[in-house]
Chain A
Amino acid sequence: MNKKNTTMPASVRQLLLLACALLPATAAAGPTGPTGQALAFTCAGCHGTDGSSVGPSMPAIAGMDPEVFVDAMRAYREDQRNPSIMNRIAKAYSDEQLEAMSWFFASQRLRVFPQEYDAALAARGVDLHQAYCEKCHENGGLPGDAGTLAGQWIPYLEFTMEDFLNGKRQWPRKMKRKVDAAIAEAGDQAIPALVNYYGSQSSTAATGATGATGVSADQEQ
């Protein structure tokens, strides 16, 4: 399943990730305190070993872009997201620690797991994704500069979209306009279609993805 994804540009981010993946885990951490690896290992009880979650309402965080990770954790720390256990946990970590953890997860291979989805909705979702989401969530929403969507668990995606739509989570720049447009086109079906599309990719995509080397999911379907 591992194939070089030639469509993904070799950005500075990926070079950094590659460098980090080759360093011993200790090098990613600050001078004192637990290493990034030690800090990240404690997340596995909820996010799965090395960040590949098998629990449907917990997001996979393996292969996640370090900046996206740190931004998310800061938002939780500052109670800017719908209160879950994550808000209480995030408050324990300094910026440096979050950064150390972010590099650890970024260098992990994302493993995704098959899940049930509605094929008709997923088919509708492909078009909506192409029209409204692909620009930011590139390659069908594989790990990248925006949050991972491809192969993410459907219940988790549903919770997240509920939070955006109910004003319990701040929209990233441009996202609200795009989602509004998708809803204008497909009505009540828009969100379920997108969510089912992303969820559907677990059976076909992403089993070899890793942000670290730019190796990405097998996109052939």
Chain B
Amino acid sequence: MTEMKRRTFLRAAGGAAALGTLGFPALVLGAARRVVVVGGGVGGCTAAKYLRKLDPSLAVTLIDPQAAYTSCFMSNEVLSGERTLESLTFGYDRLRAHGVQLVQDWAVGIDPDKQQVITQGGNRFDYDACVVSPGVDFKWEAIAGYDAQIANERIPHAWFAGPQTLLLRNQLQAMPEGGHVVIVAPLNPFKCPPGPYERASQIAMYCQHHKPRAKVTILDAKDAFSKQGLYMEGWRKLYGYGTDNSLIEWVSAAAGGAVEELDPDTRTLVGLVEDFQGDVVNIIPPQKAGKIAFAADLVEGDWCPVDKGTFESSRHPGIYVLGDASSAEKMPKSAYAANSQAKVAVAAIIARFRNQEPGDPTFVNTCYSIVGEDFGISVAAVYSLDSDTNTIEPIPGSGGVSPTNASPEIREREVSYAHSWFKNVINDMME
């Protein structure tokens, strides 16, 4: 079958199954099974696409308030000017072509007994299985004086790609020559562990070209961070790290980097040891699962516990929580992780519909960071489930970070791998 014919066939099959008018296999057993997916990010889109790919008889509905997905991954490149926000934005029409029904709305509740997702618009969607992948929300209370409104208007977190990313970019451009950029990095766990350091690097890259006397300070709530050795190697090579003229400075929690309070008017951050004042301030607050996870009673503490073999909530059966919102130790909160988890959940959902046991899961994470021009680094892991402890364990002897002091040619290639990874991950989510 050609691609076109296949598409048309799938769409017809899905449509017919949903309407219950034709004798497709699912209808022999009753109505088509319905899966409602909450959140059209990496986890949600991948799940919706693969549900339809692996079982075209399923009626899949995806609920997201946006008409398009704007990826956080690669959004640090908007800050250096290497790419536009538009290049990160992908309409959900791509998923429609897979036969996914799109609903533009917020999910505000899930009724696990009636098996319904409730939206802000007042609609209820019946499900036989529900996938929840809402990403993160912020713990605003962690830094006194900082709140959602200040973030929107003056001191962006830019941890969701969108208007705040552009606000931060504009502030960098408007910053005086020799200005000071302060980035506040959160405690673990949070979305994209290497992200704040890639961000510092991309801002340094911008400054190097346009404001060479500027300075970037990272105030950290931690004493160590992801790919630290490689970042510092890159910073030494590219930005004079460790010298008096370094473009980047990192202040660990122990050295006084943990921040407790913000004065938004003077852009002053109060640390334990001293205060820091910035011309541009970017606060990445500590995080927790997205709001709907709390509203639907899927959390314990800040995150959603799941059976790691299936990603089914351990609080409400039939609901599968993926991506950043789940507690999926030892996987990081990354796009690749969400993509990998979605396929495990999809296989488990389909197995359940067929009264089969779920297969053994397997997971991969890879994450690239672009430290500067022609300087990319990466981390990778392949995991398997330890079902005794319900933990996702890296397979011994595999994975790890890029070699230290690699040749310039390897570092340059990792940048092109990062960009290719971006295209493939988006493609696998929705194309």
A residues near B, CB below 8 A? 1-2, 26, 32-35, 38-39, 41-49, 53-58, 82-85, 88-93, 111, 155, 159, 162, 208
CB distance from B5 to the nearest CB of A (A): 10
B-side contacts of A49, CB under 8 Å: 427-428, 431
B416 within 8 A of A: yes
B420 near A34 (CB under 8 angstroms)?
Answer: no
A92 near B395 (CB under 8 angstroms)?
Answer: yes
A-side contacts of B2, CB under 8 Å: 1-2, 208
Q: Which of A57, A93, A111 has the most CB of B within 10 A?
A: A57
Q: Can you list 30 A-B contacts (CB < 8 A)? A: A33-B360, A33-B362, A35-B359, A35-B360, A38-B344, A39-B362, A41-B50, A41-B340, A45-B336, A46-B421, A47-B424, A49-B428, A53-B420, A55-B419, A55-B424, A56-B416, A57-B420, A58-B417, A58-B421, A82-B410, A83-B403, A83-B406, A83-B410, A84-B417, A85-B402, A89-B380, A89-B398, A90-B398, A91-B395, A91-B399
Chain A residue nearest to B406 in the complex (CB): A83
Among all A-B residue pairs, the 7 with the closest Cβ atoms: A55-B420, A92-B382, A92-B398, A91-B398, A42-B364, A34-B362, A92-B395
Chain A residue nearest to B397 in the complex (CB): A91
Q: How far is the CA of A144 from the CA of B431 in the complex (A)?
A: 27
Partner of B428, one of A32, A44, A155: A44
Q: How far is the CA of A84 from the CA of B344 in the complex (A)?
A: 26
Chain B residue nearest to A97 in the complex (CB): B362
Q: How far is the CA of A111 from the CA of B6 in the complex (A)?
A: 14
B382 near A45 (CB under 8 angstroms)?
Answer: no
B398 near A46 (CB under 8 angstroms)?
Answer: no
Chain B residue nearest to A153 in the complex (CB): B420
A-side contacts of B416, CB under 8 Å: 56-57, 155
B413 within 8 A of A: yes
Q: How many residues of B contact A (CB 8 A)?
A: 45
B378 near A41 (CB under 8 angstroms)?
Answer: no
B294 within 8 A of A: no
B361 within 8 A of A: yes
B-side contacts of A46, CB under 8 Å: 366, 417, 420-421, 424-425
| B 385-404 contacts with A by CB, 8 A | 395, 397-400, 402-403
A56 near B420 (CB under 8 angstroms)?
Answer: yes
B76 within 8 A of A: no
Q: How far is the CA of A159 from the CA of B410 in the complex (A)?
A: 10
A48 near B362 (CB under 8 angstroms)?
Answer: no
B347 within 8 A of A: yes
Q: How far is the CA of A93 from the CA of B417 in the complex (A)?
A: 22
Q: Which of B2, B50, B417 has the most CB of A within 10 A?
A: B417
CB distance from A205 to the nearest CB of B (A): 15
CB distance from B260 to the nearest CB of A (A): 38
CB distance from A149 to the nearest CB of B (A): 18
CB distance from B52 to the nearest CB of A (A): 12
